[in-house]
Homo-oligomer: A and B are copies of this chain.
């Protein structure tokens, strides 16, 4: 058999196994060496077969791990549409709806597709508990004393070491620790804005930003945001004269999962530097990439110090620890002062636990497994939606993070749908909570950082049926 026919034949065999679901989404393929022996061919032939399958998006390589079934070539549903810039429209805060949706968060009988936090089964709780006991013993005065206002030194050192993506541009002195990323964003807005100022945000946007803006008396401009490539910079250009601060999630935004390409990040930083507009970059999903490497944050391109790079472990280790940070560039002294007047210092114990987790490689190890699980879950969720939801459903294609964004038929109102679903013990986040305008009423966000099993599959099926019945 000619070599080119040989590799195609092998590719075909594997393709059949995938389409027949003998190999399922997220399954690992046998190693190149194993297949070489199995088919008695050269390593190059197997590699060519894999390339063929990869070009069809049937499989994908994951760094340092191997090849996995992805089956995205069979994607039936298109990605959601992008909204238009609407600056004059009347705004209405979704506060009541947010309260309604999250009032049920502690009800364990409900399948919580609505939440923005990972399921406990995905968290390394036992290892963290060991860390608590170790930190308690190591900390001077067992952590009963005030910490430095700027934050635990051990954590800041590890943040600097571990921010490899920034290629050594940050030191321990560049970080200020905070009470989660929400607190970092709140403090950034406190030091850069005053009541009545206007900030530019993505749309749809993480509703916490809307809540902070309302609380601080800030106006928001919701910029059109592409489900894949993020915020529309042309739209930003049009309104930039009105904007005091930008607040974006450049990597795997919540809820769209969009990822700004490097060129866009560079252009954004260039534009904001020129206009002297600070960028609050909420990068708390940046480590949850499905691709080969961690995407760079805008902070990487920031020479002038206008980017305030925010992060946390709330989406990767423990939301309840409230450990976050910001590298605030030019605004460092103001942020430290803001933290001082808010609370003097943050507790050192959990900061020490996280620092220790980072220092001894446990965080890296955990993140590798966690990303793998998230990626597989994402593919499973996409498959389930394609199987169970109406044909005209549109679905996002995140390259990281933990959310899917669904756009349903225009006739569907997901706020009403929520009431029906919750009676069936299923919770999702209605699109309307991610905007101050009257839009996304036919959209929903699903959290896939859950433990995948038949129950979850069945729940997605039930949710699909609820949508179909609403049509």
B-contacting residues of A (Cβ < 8 Å)?
Answer: 105-106, 117, 120, 123, 125, 128-129, 132-133, 136, 141-148, 179-180, 182-183, 186, 194-195, 208, 211-212, 215-216, 317-322, 337-338, 340-350
Residue from A123, A143, A208 whose CB has the most chain B CB atoms within 10 Å: A143
CB distance B132 to A320 under 8 Å?
no
**Min CB–CB distance A180 → chain B (angstroms):** 6
CA distance A208 to B120 in the complex (A): 39
- A182 interface neighbour in B194, B343, B348, Cβ under 8 Å: B343
CB distance A123 to B144 under 8 Å?
yes
- A344 interface neighbour in B147, B182, B343, B350, Cβ under 8 Å: B182
- A215 interface neighbour in B146, B211, B338, Cβ under 8 Å: B338
**Min CB–CB distance A201 → chain B (angstroms):** 15
CA distance A317 to B180 in the complex (A): 25
Give A178's nearest chain B residue, CB to CB.
Answer: B343
When all copies of this chain in the complex are counted, the total is: 2
**Min CB–CB distance A181 → chain B (angstroms):** 9
CB distance A186 to B343 under 8 Å?
yes
CA distance A343 to B347 in the complex (A): 14
With a CB–CB cut-off of 8 A, which chain B residues contact A216? 341
CA distance A345 to B320 in the complex (A): 8
**Min CB–CB distance A350 → chain B (angstroms):** 6
- A144 interface neighbour in B133, B319, B342, Cβ under 8 Å: B319
CB distance B320 to A143 under 8 Å?
yes
Closest 7 CB pairs of A and B: A144-B318, A179-B343, A183-B343, A215-B341, A212-B341, A120-B141, A145-B320
Residue from A195, A211, A319 whose CB has the most chain B CB atoms within 10 Å: A319
CB distance B125 to A320 under 8 Å?
no
With a CB–CB cut-off of 8 A, which chain B residues contact A346? 179, 322
Given contacts A125-B144, A144-B120, contact A183 B342 (CB under 8 A): yes
- A341 interface neighbour in B132, B142, B182, Cβ under 8 Å: B182
With a CB–CB cut-off of 8 A, which chain B residues contact A180? 343-344
Residue from A195, A211, A342 whose CB has the most chain B CB atoms within 10 Å: A342
CA distance A120 to B146 in the complex (A): 11
CA distance A214 to B141 in the complex (A): 32
CB distance B186 to A320 under 8 Å?
no
CB distance B344 to A347 under 8 Å?
no
CA distance A346 to B340 in the complex (A): 16
CB distance A320 to B179 under 8 Å?
no
CA distance A154 to B176 in the complex (A): 31
**Min CB–CB distance A182 → chain B (angstroms):** 5
30 contacts between A and B (CB under 8 A): A117-B145, A117-B146, A120-B144, A123-B141, A123-B144, A128-B144, A132-B136, A133-B133, A133-B136, A143-B320, A144-B317, A144-B319, A144-B321, A145-B319, A147-B320, A180-B344, A182-B341, A182-B344, A186-B341, A195-B195, A208-B344, A211-B341, A215-B337, A215-B338, A319-B344, A322-B343, A322-B345, A322-B347, A349-B349, A349-B350
CA distance A343 to B185 in the complex (A): 9
With a CB–CB cut-off of 8 A, which chain B residues contact A340? 211
CA distance A105 to B145 in the complex (A): 11
